[in-house]
Structures are given as C-alpha cells and as structure tokens.
Structure 1
Amino acid sequence: GQDWAPETNTYGVYCYDATVQNSVPSFDTGAGLELWSYTLAPGEKVYASILKVSDYIYFGTSFGSLESIDPTADIPDTNATNSGNFYALSLGGELVTKLENVGKVRSSAEVEGDRIYFTALKGEQDVMGVVASTQIYLKDLSELGTTNAGPGDQNLLHTPYWREITPIP
C-alpha cells in the first residue's frame, strides 16, 4: 500500500533475459539483461504476479493503498478518477489493450480458452448496498489489439470481502 509505496513514486514492469547473467547482480541492474520496461503512472502499482500466455503479458494495477497497516484505507475512493487498470502487453513490451478504472486489481489473471479472469476491489455499492466488493471480471481475448478492445468487461460475480463480513469501524 502507500504505507511503503507512496503515490508520488513511479513504478514499472520489467522484462529480463535471465540466461544472460549479470556478473554483479543488484536491485538496480537486476540479475540478467534488461530487454524492456513499461512505466506505469505515478502511484500505480502491481500487487500480483504477471501472467504470460501465448504472445501476451497480462497484469493488473492498483492506485492507493492495498494490504495497508489500516485496512479501512484499502477501500477504493469512489471519487477517484482511477482505482486500477488491467493491461495486455506484447512480448516486446508494447501496450496492446488497457482496461481503465476496473478497481484495485489484487490477483493474477487466469486464462481459459479465449477468456481472461481477474478480481478487483471496485469500491462501488452492489445491489445489497455493500461497498468495496470483490468482483470477478471476464474479458474476451479475441478482441485484443482491435478497436473493439475497449472496456467490454463484464462483472460476473460478487464475492464478499472479509471487511464486508466483519466491518471495521
């Protein structure tokens, strides 16, 4: 969360060739040869493992706090312009598709056939008036790289978040 990763910092996603070993590995230069990097917006962070399937790399991001010292800070601000995004990059690091403001993405993606699934904290009220629900999204991968690859995501399922079951005052 922003407890240890401030909103003013800029983060990124990096691709390394681990077969070309760095003679002196370090946090700054890594352990291999950097092939490319993709810079995220200030304050945008990746909380789960990145997934590579076929010719694409998938990952979700979150803005604000997640798994913070104060759990109530994790609830997305419904007034924020963006709580998190979901990306598809080519193997060369170029942006293929970006789904904006899908919620705070806290899981790795799962691909099955032509569909991709991921979960996010949206921070919106559901039909029962619950805020900060975890939502599972579906995206049809056949639209990647086309002009139809816009939001097109569907909210499939609402699963209770532990803070919904046991609210913290």
Structure 2
Amino acid sequence: MPKNIGGTVGRGGRNFPALDVMTVQYLLNCVPAAAGGPMQELAVDGAAGPKTIAAIEKFQRGNGCVCDGRVDPGGATLRNLQARANDPYPNQPLSPAAAKGPANPFGQKGFGQPGGKGGGPGDPFGQKGFGQPGGKGGSPGDPFGQKSGGGMPPGGGGGFPFPQKGGGAKGY
C-alpha cells in the first residue's frame, strides 16, 4: 500500500497533521527532478512552506495535473506522486519520529560514522542506520532504523569475520 495522507497539503490545505506534510515532502524528494521532483531536496520537516508549495506546483505542471499547489487525499496529484516516486520502501509508512528535524541536517553527526547519530539524506525518520561498521547514524537508504553490523572483529580486517594476514592478528 503506497504512502497516503489524511488531509490536504499545500496552498490552502489543512497541512495537519505534520505527518501528512512530511509524507508529501518525502514523496516529492523521491521523484527525480527531470520527472517533476524538486531541484533541491526538501526538508522533511512537516511545514508546508513556500519551497514545499513550489515543489508541489512544479510536480503538477510537469505531470499534467491541475496546478493549484495542493495535494488532496486520493486526488490526481497524490496518485501521480505515488506512481512516479522512486520510493525504495513504498509499503513502509513514515514514522512520526521524522518530526524531529529536517531530512538532511547538515553539520550533525551521522551518515553511518562510528558513534554518530542523527538522520542523513534519505533518512527522514531520524533513526539509527547501518552504514559504516559500528555506526549509529542514519545512513542514506536506511529509513527503517536498522542497527549497524557492529564493526570489525578484534584483529580482523577488511570486514572478514576471521583474522586476516596483516590485519593485526598474531601468527598469520
């Protein structure tokens, strides 16, 4: 079941709950710019501001929808968004945890680096990710908050589960 909204989003829309706005922002970000998506990634913050409305209008113009800057539940714009979004997890609903901040929090720790936490591009859920070994940051493409692989084993190298020659293990 594709991501849906319960109320109108955009110009003149109810724009509440914030999860509806975040769903539209997320879907717009999943559409390539050449197919009507935004030129610059929208912050998935739940605020239907001028950039979100402009992105809705751009999508509507590029996809033969009525250009009113609004997305209605079950309407043509939402159906087109659902069909054109390259959503890697179409059956996974957005989490309310996404309200914690924008989708791309520049300057924060994360992106799968060891000890970091916070969301990264493509992680509007602000959850832990599986990127670099031992990382706790939201890594791109991990919107479900999967924990990392746990890092390198003691004395191991190159991600192999057994000690490798030259990887710090003695006797090899």
Structure (1/2) with the larger strand percentage: 1
> Under a length normalisation based on structure 2, what TM-score does the superposition of the two structures give?
0.24
Q: Which has the larger radius of gyration?
A: 2
Q: Which structure is higher in helix share?
A: 2
TM-score w.r.t. length of structure 1:
0.25
